[in-house]
Chain A
Amino acid sequence: MHSNRYCNRIIVLPFSVLLEIRVKPDNSGVVTDGVKHSMNPFCEIAVEEAVKLKEKKLIKEVVAVSCGPQQSQETIRTALAMGADRGIHVEVAGKDYETLGPLQVSKIMAALAKKEDAQLIILGKQAIDDDCNQTGQMTAALLDWPQGTFASEVSLDGDKVKVVREIDGGLETIKISTPAVLTADLRLNTPRYATLPNIMKAKKKKIANVKPADLGVDLTSRLEVLKVEEPPQRQAGVKVETVEDLVGKLKETGRI
């Protein structure tokens, strides 16, 4: 008889990203005060996938985890409104938050995965503000779990997961055992809009507060940001009257 073990628990990691990027005047980073935050689009897709798996009754519980200051709770609430069952807010604020990067987050995720006895971790493939694309992979490495990254299709089959991955040359299909880490790519699904009744119900769902120290995680960053600068201003173009002028100008600027 072939065993059909239920996947019990999925953890998703929705991150909030800045909606508008402006470099700080002292070139030490980007402005975060007062800038509107929103759930990272790839994380929305990850949450949607987890909720879909629960609706298909393939998993029992979806836990949404976010690391950051107080406002991360809003991102967790959005995930709860989309259908996650409960949330965990890992409090990271001030200086620690400024230097919080994929390595620190993946250490936190690894600790939580063990504590919560999760079978699947689903994250967005990358955050659209820093574009690191590292957290999923690092988490899998720390846990020594298989990883299915850039997923455009996920299906559970007993205690294995079939993942179709988007790669440069096309699509690659792999089968990995659980527990596993997946990262969501654009075409995995179309995230639902949170409905008003579900937002109201989400207010009653629990969000637990945890500190990184409670999980035994050291947040010290191994990176130091030296400088952040905007790309150079685009120079105005020059209009020319004839083809000869064009060729002349190209030669003048050493292009040909």
Chain B
Amino acid sequence: ITDFCAGGCCGRQTVREQHGKDESVHRCRPPDVVVFPRCVEEVSALAKLCHRHQLPIIPFGTGTGLEGGVGAVKGGVCFSLRNMDQILDLHPEDFDVTVEPGVTRKALNSYLRETGLWFPVDPGADASLCGMAATSASGTNAVRYGTMRENVMNLEVVLADGSVIHTAGRNRRPRKTAAGYNLTNLFVGSEGTLGIITKTTLRLYGVPEEMVSAVCSFSSVQAAVDSTVQILQAGVPIARIEFLDEVMIDACNKFSSLSYPVSPTLFLEFHGSERSLEEQVNTTEDITQSNGGSDFQWARDAETRNRLWKARHDAWYAALAMRPGCKAYATDVCVPLSRLPHIIVETKEDLIESRLTGHIVGHVGDGNFHCLMVMDPSDQDELHRVHLFSQRLARRALAMDGTCTGEHGVGLGKRSLLCEEVGPSVIRVMQSLKDAIDPNNLMNPGKILL
């Protein structure tokens, strides 16, 4: 392997362990060796080598996934792509840019500063953009700007046998296309099971002229979610609409020294010109007030807005701070908007009955919410109750025409739920695609499909 990888290859235990786990609760499953290719030619040569010797291949970006996607369940070679960190081919007038796997979303936005453009998909971590493509990531801005599915225009992928393909054709970046099977979106969300993504061409957006954020409290979950549905129905192009239940707000208040009322809350953000903001805000305020919402707490300038959103982004840490020494786990279901109040209310009842510490926070504009659970890793009974609770929650979402994973992916832990979600005939189609593209099951075995 060392002959093929001038970028380096490593068999040391610590390095292997670092590359065998992500930020999920799944235990570390280290690969047999880690390689650090520096260009697509090296990736291809290494893949050919692995193919010849039937070695599993696990692509690794930033290791910030939440579903155990990088665990090398059958050993093999981990391809750590962090040395491929170039931002290539920025076309500001066409609103597109191509990046390599070592480029993270914050690095890209920093690079784009002077162009007035940005890439809005913002999952919690500062993740690799190619990794985000692999897991079909999403963030707080999805309600207006979409998820990775809507914003990846082309991918360069190395397949298990080392061949290199461009899913939309080499260098192609039209804003829309009707040409052939949609291979780009086949690979988006494939979690490394179909190929190694070595470049992604992304859709960029103009940085909005003005941004304003607001916080509004409600007396009930129903009122908050009803407001969300009505805001969307009114056609307000709201940029972010995040829900925090009273348990989450309490934790955030304590962690970030804030004093929001401890009740179901919406964090809102509006983007646009000054005049359009005025209209958006007035329409939204009318709606929240008609649902008994409190007066808005405003944030106009960048510093105040950042403080407000930091409180939301620190939710994970705020939850952990409520029970020091514990670990956190986030569920990730997504349901049609109209079912949101029902599922949140049932979930909260289940939390109480199961005697679990759970905080609800979510992208209600998409019908997607996370239950952040804090648990004592040495308490087997609690761990078991958390596991059963998550299964029940996923099934509750499926029963409401939803999905078991809105943005985190299937990885290791949700493979059976995927079967329940799509059914055996779809699983058969998915398996035949996998068999066609990776007949020897070398690409990240053990993920997505059982």
Contacts and interface: CB of A to CB of B under 8 A. Distances in A.
Interface of A: 38-39, 78, 81, 190, 192-199
Given A190-B302, A190-B303, A192-B302, A199 B115 contact: yes
B270 to A, nearest CB: 14
Contacts of B302: 190, 192
A193 B113 contact: yes
B7 interface: no
A196 B114 contact: no
Contacts of A38: 114
B303 A194 contact: no
A244 to B, nearest CB: 26
Given A190-B302, A197-B273, A78 B114 contact: yes
Interface stretch (B206-214, B222-230, B427-435, B442-450): B206-214
Interface residues of B, number: 13
A197 B274 CA distance: 12
Nearest to A39: B114
Nearest to A202: B116
B247 interface: no
B117 interface: yes
Given A192-B302, A196-B117, 9 more contacts: A78-B114, A190-B303, A193-B118, A194-B116, A195-B116, A195-B207, A197-B273, A198-B209, A199-B116
Contacts of B118: 193
Name which of A81, A192, A193, A198 has the most chain B CB atoms within 10 A of its CB: A193
B206 A197 contact: yes
19 contacts: A38-B114, A39-B114, A81-B116, A190-B302, A192-B302, A193-B113, A193-B116, A193-B207, A194-B207, A195-B206, A195-B209, A196-B115, A196-B117, A197-B206, A197-B209, A197-B273, A198-B116, A199-B115, A199-B116
Contacts of B209: 195, 197-198
A197 B276 CA distance: 14
Name which of B117, B207, B209 has the most chain A CB atoms within 10 A of its CB: B207
Contacts of A198: 116, 209
A200 to B, nearest CB: 8
A81 B207 CA distance: 12
A35 to B, nearest CB: 15
Contacts of A81: 116
Contacts of A192: 302
B204 to A, nearest CB: 10
Contacts of A199: 115-116
A124 to B, nearest CB: 16
Nearest to A52: B301
Name which of A39, A190, A194, A195 has the most chain B CB atoms within 10 A of its CB: A195
Nearest to B112: A193
A196 B207 CA distance: 6
Nearest to A74: B114
A198 B117 CA distance: 11
Contacts of A197: 116, 206, 209, 273
B69 to A, nearest CB: 32
Contacts of A39: 114
Interface in B266-305: 273, 302-303
A122 B126 CA distance: 34
Name which of B113, B118, B273 has the most chain A CB atoms within 10 A of its CB: B113
A196 B116 contact: yes
Contacts of A196: 115-117, 206-207
Contacts of B114: 38-39, 78, 194
B113 A195 contact: no
A192 B116 CA distance: 11
Contacts of B206: 195-197
A103 B114 CA distance: 29
Contacts of B207: 193-196
A192 B115 CA distance: 12
A53 B404 CA distance: 51
A90 B299 CA distance: 40
Interface in B95-150: 113-118
A198 B116 CA distance: 8
Nearest to B273: A197
Interface in B233-278: 273
Contacts of A195: 116, 206-209
A218 B209 CA distance: 42
A39 B113 CA distance: 11
Interface string B172-191: 00000000000000000000
Nearest to B110: A193
A199 B114 CA distance: 9
A196 B118 CA distance: 10
Name which of B113, B116, B209 has the most chain A CB atoms within 10 A of its CB: B116
Contacts of A78: 114
Nearest to B118: A193
Contacts of B117: 196
A195 to B, nearest CB: 4
A3 to B, nearest CB: 30
Contacts of A190: 302-303
A33 B115 CA distance: 22
B418 to A, nearest CB: 39
